[in-house]
Amino acid sequence: MCTCQVISKAFAIALCNVESTAITIAYICIDFGIMYIVKISRGDLTYCYPVENKIGSLVVSIMERLFSKTVLDFTGMLYSRHPFEMGGAYFSFTLLSTPVVCLYICSRYLDYVSDEEVEAEIGGSFTPEQVYGSIISISVLQMASFGLFLHLMNPSFRSTFLSLRTGSQEVILNFRNAKTDHAKFNVLKIEETLWKPIREEVRSWINGNLTEWIGSESFSANKKALIPDDLVDDPAQLIQIRGVDVEKLQRRRSSLKPSAILAANNKEAEAEAES
């Protein structure tokens, strides 16, 4: 299945390149463009890797989607169906659409090389029997292997190949289905944009258990670092978590506010005037 996917994709690009480099670039751009349109329209562009800067997060997401799509196209890797990557439905769409697209490109190639001048220029060409025979054989083998794979696999996993679940939906579902606090902490390791719809739910969970956690040995420094400051309602508990005194904590928080910056500038100006 995966080998056939690689051969079909490479075959399609090679035949496009015979006609012109521009056609090859257009094919690749359209292919990736469809993927980005699907991701953006479903609100699923943001990748799960946490990045504090929004612009940085956007850049990382765009590059990661580009990488994931390339891996799927040229390996058919099963992990690509994970909601954090391409998703189950898009994974299956890619495997099923590649032979169809390849047949269309074969047709274009044969029309192009049917001209005697073109055939002489490129130094000969494949016959229609060779072209269609090759791609049809690969396509049949790919569909048969994919069908056999679905038939032999654990039935409970078949739905993952048709899943429309987004990365955000996956994060929310995992948080709500988690049986332990340790498992729920995984949500804080994910880019916050993905779990923003349940932010208040996460806040309630944190504040409802914080008193118990603080007195527990399992509440490690790594877990403390995962908790955002603004999700802790009690300043005293936040100080216990961070291990800093009140004044330092307040200065750190207020330094983010424009009014505090203005106040600091005024104090500096007054100090200079007095000196």
pLDDT tens for 74-126 read: 988 999 999 999 999 999 999 999 989 998 988 888 888 776 655 555 555 66
In 3D space, the residue among 120, 81, 73, 115 whose CA is nearest the CA of residue 98 turns out to be 73
DSSP assignment letter at 114: T
Confidence class of residue 208 from pLDDT cuts 50, 70 and 90?
very high
Question: What's the pLDDT score for residue 125?
Answer: 62
Higher pLDDT, 249 or 60: 60
- Percent of the chain at pLDDT > 70 equals 84
Q: Sign of the CA dihedral 85, 91, 95, 97?
A: negative
Question: What's the pLDDT score for residue 131?
Answer: 81
In 3D space, the residue among 175, 194, 243 whose CA is nearest the CA of residue 214 turns out to be 243
What is the residue extent of each domain of the chain?
Answer: 2-161, 179-243
Q: Is the pLDDT of residue 212 over 60?
A: yes
> How far is CA 64 from each of CA 56, 84, 86, 164, rounded to the nearest angstrom?
12, 10, 10, 19
**pTM, whole model, 2 decimals?**
0.79
Residues in contact with 244: Cβ distance below 8 Å, sequence separation at least 6, in sequence order? 252
pLDDT tens for 224-266 read: 999 999 999 998 888 888 875 545 555 555 554 444 434 544 5
